[in-house]
Chains A and B, each alone.
Chain A
Amino acid sequence: MDLSYGAEAEAFRAEVRRFLADNWQPAERRGAELKEFIRAFRRAGVERGYLYRSVPRRYGGSEQPVDVIRAQVIREEFGRARAPLEVGGNGVNMTVPTLLEKGTEEQRELFIRKTIEGDYIWGQGYSEPGSGSDLASVRTKAELSPDGTRWIINGQKIWTSQGMQSTHMFMLVRTEPDAAKHDGITYLLIDLDQPGITRRPIRQMTGEQGAHTFCEFFFDNAETPVSWQVGGRGQGWYVSRTTLKHERASIGSADGLGNQFRKLVDLARETGRIGDPLVRDSLARIEGFVLAHRYTSFRLFSCAAAGEDAGPVQLMMKLYLTEIGHEMALLAQELIGEYAFIEPAGAGGRGPRGVRGPEKWLDQIMGSLGNSIAGGASNIQRNIIGERGLGLPRDLALALEAGAEK
């Protein structure tokens, strides 16, 4: 084994560093000027093949061969220089790959360039108040307009990240009420700026509210052109499955956890508990999991670079992360003691916070619970590990449902 990236990657790293030194000098720019600078910087990054590597040139990407080592070097060097990477969010992570795989030429032309340049921000319209883990039970319905050119949408979506900023949404709607559950869904794109759509931020248990929280969306005869339908009518469930596959191997995914653990050690120091043998034992016990997560991310990355299948362990990373977050929350709760009486400044929100004491851990203590719910709840993860990872037979209710559809 060898954790160095090799001479070729290091030469590439030097090239990326030169590019950053020449092109990333934000200096004193602010506001609109900074925004324009970043836009130009990203264009230069695309020109050099560093950004949007999987997106064809004709849609504004850099169309590079798959190379996870190079992608990792780019992330590391841009991170080190604090230079902006791709715009991120649902648009780049989900809409663009889905359109590349299942979209029409018209859809790709319309949306990809605007999305990767940050003009279009996409909300995810999957969950509904009655459809969480059982996503295929969506009830928001779409019906064709009398002339057959538009879908007319009625219903409600919920838990949309970046909802207040979103310009567009990709959504699952029921179009064939008489078809079997998974075969009655269609995948639509929609412009959110229209009278039939109302959005409302959800106030979270952390206290977070306002512009940056999740939203719920109400659709009251909202419209979208039939040409904005992705994949066949009734095929939306399968289109959405391709979306979820677009996740990339990255060592960086483990860094967040490592940073948080270091802050937990700092908290033990700050609260004068670092010499307590019980605290030291708890920290080291949690660190065993943190390091196992980190080294497993090396393993996944290494397998991805070599084009090999890492096996069931890749299905475990989300639940592992969630469980470690819980453990850290429990120790943090012990360490902050009576600081837990004080709600931290700017709790949950993203406004100015000023200097915050140990009570700031309440953000992590509450926020870590989100991981056990969002992006596939923990019990769903356990089913996935058990069924897809270990090959255990499917849950009876799900097996019966699948049988009924065949």
Chain B
Amino acid sequence: MRFHLSAEQIAIQDAVRGTLADCWPMDRLHAFADGADDFDPASWEALMALGLGGILLPDSDMGLLDAALVNEVAGAAAAPGPLIGQLLAVAAVARSGNAAARAHLDALVAGTTVAALALGDSPYVQCARAAQVFLVGSRESGLALVEAGAGVVIEPVQPTDRSRPVSRVTFEGAVRHELAAASDPLTAQICDAALVLVAADSLGGALHCTDISVAYAKEREQFGQPIGRFQGLKHQLAHMALDVEPARALVWYAAYAHDAALDDAPRAAAMAKAHLCDVYVRSTRAAIAAHGGIGYTWEYGLNYWLRRAAFNRAWLGSPAQHRARAADLAGW
């Protein structure tokens, strides 16, 4: 029986956290947010140099839980880059029999070929301008890898989430490698895994919002006292922690259930996505309220997490949609 993190898993999180802290201090995040790019090659290279690209390879000794732990840290940092798309593209391509798609595998694992996630019906795709390939498809249509270039039309938009800017993308007559039919279990597995990773990103973001709100409450003084001494705020902060900390285990369980191929893995993924995306939105709002005026400034940067929370919530289906799925899956 083991249901807490190993020393190795904590070490991986620390390594990713350290790299992202170096890459994305607030001034760099501001510059990226105000810039025109949807991708930052230097930070991507640093991240990929940690060997993250191969986490979801079939012969890896890691799995979705480890991928979730890495995405949790990326979410905490509001890190730019299509990390979820990259890991899932590797997972899908490596498990497919399509030789043309598999020709991309080594470069995908190394991160030198960048993959963007374009699952579902939405035309909005993160980091589309930087991507060389797109993981496209749905539970109903199966999965494919589409190559950037002719037949892929990318129209930049002003993105709400400044850390992972989206473009409007259409695919018509592009080079396309089928990875899995709708009936292939791989399709549902990848769609479910995507939900768990978005939940993990949301967990990290919500934890970060809670942590910095607590730190600020210890530092900021009013009426001659650190504001965290006042019960009104103390109780708000306690509720932020109460909302996010137990929810961590929901992400762990969904990832573990996926890795162990438990029967309830698809439902656990839906529950984790729905719950954590709600938590993330609540946490960002509570964090800004807890900070007062400084939280409402652009400069302080909390808005990047609020914007990312708004994106995660709607991405790949809203909480209400996944709760409806969970209700169906439970046979209610």
**Residue B50 interfacial (CB < 8 Å):** no
User: Are B3 and A281 in contact (CB-based, < 8 A)?
Assistant: no
One digit per residue, 1 when the CB lies within 8 angstroms of any chain A CB and 0 when it does not, for chain B 194-218 equals 0000000000000000000010011
Which residues of B have CB within 8 Å of A332?
Answer: none
Query: Taking the complex as formed, is B175 at the interface, i.e. its CB lies under 8 A from any CB of chain A?
Result: no
Contact A313 B246, beta carbon cutoff 8 Å: yes
A6 and B238 contacting across the interface, CB-CB below 8 Å: no
Bound: A319/B3 CA distance, A: 22
Q: Is B190 an interface residue (CB 8 A)?
A: no
Given contacts A292-B246, A379-B235, contact A3 B256 (CB under 8 A): yes
B226 at the interface (CB under 8 A from A): yes
| Neighbouring A residues of B332 by C-beta, 8 Å | 265, 268-269, 274, 280, 283
Residues of A within 8 Å of B241, CB to CB, are 312, 316, 385, 389-390
With an 8 Å Cβ cutoff, the count of chain A residues facing the other chain is 58
Residues of A within 8 Å of B226, CB to CB, are: 392-393
Q: Are A302 and B235 touching (Cβ within 8 A)?
A: no
Residues of A within 8 A of B282 (CB): none
Q: Which of A287, A298, A303, A308 contacts B271 (CB 8 A)?
A: A287
Does A298 contact B249, Cβ atoms closer than 8 Å?
Answer: yes
A316 touches B246 (CB 8 A): yes
A395 within 8 A of B: yes
Quick check: B274 and A383 within 8 Å, CB to CB?
no
Given known A-B contacts A292-B250, A313-B245, A395-B231, A386 and B238 have beta carbons under 8 A apart: yes
Report the bound CA distance from A391 to B275 in whole Å: 27
Check B4–A306 contact: CB distance below 8 A: yes
Partner of B252, one of A1, A316, A387, A393: A1
Q: What total of A-B pairs shows CB separation below 8 Å?
A: 159
One of A310, A320, A394 near B242 (C-beta < 8 A): A320
B89, CB-defined interface residue at 8 Å: no
Interface residues of B in 60-107 (CB under 8 A from A): 65
What's the Cα separation between A287 and B330 when bound, in Å? Answer: 11
* Cβ–Cβ < 8 Å partners of A122 in chain B: none
CB pair B242 A385 closer than 8 Å? yes
A2 at interface by CB-CB < 8 Å: yes
From residue A274, how far is it (CB to closest CB) to chain B in Å?
Answer: 5
Contact of A17 with B by CB under 8 A: no
Nearest B residue to A293 via CB reads: B246
| A319 surroundings in chain B (CB, below 8 A) | 238, 242
Residues of B with C-beta under 8 A to A381? 238
Considering the complex, give the chain B residue whose CB is closest to the CB of A298: B3
Give me the interface of A with B, judged by CB distance under 8 Å.
1-6, 9, 69, 265, 268-269, 274, 277, 280-281, 283-285, 287-289, 291-293, 295-296, 298-299, 301-303, 305-306, 308, 310, 312-313, 316-317, 319-320, 323, 379, 381-383, 385-387, 389-396, 399
Sample of 5 further A-B pairs with CB below 8 A, known A310-B4, A312-B245, A382-B238 = A1-B3, A277-B324, A281-B324, A295-B252, A312-B241
> Which residues of B does A touch, CB under 8 Å?
1-4, 65, 214, 217-218, 225-226, 228-229, 231, 234-235, 237-239, 241-242, 245-250, 252-253, 256, 260, 268, 271, 274-275, 278, 319-320, 323-324, 326-327, 330, 332
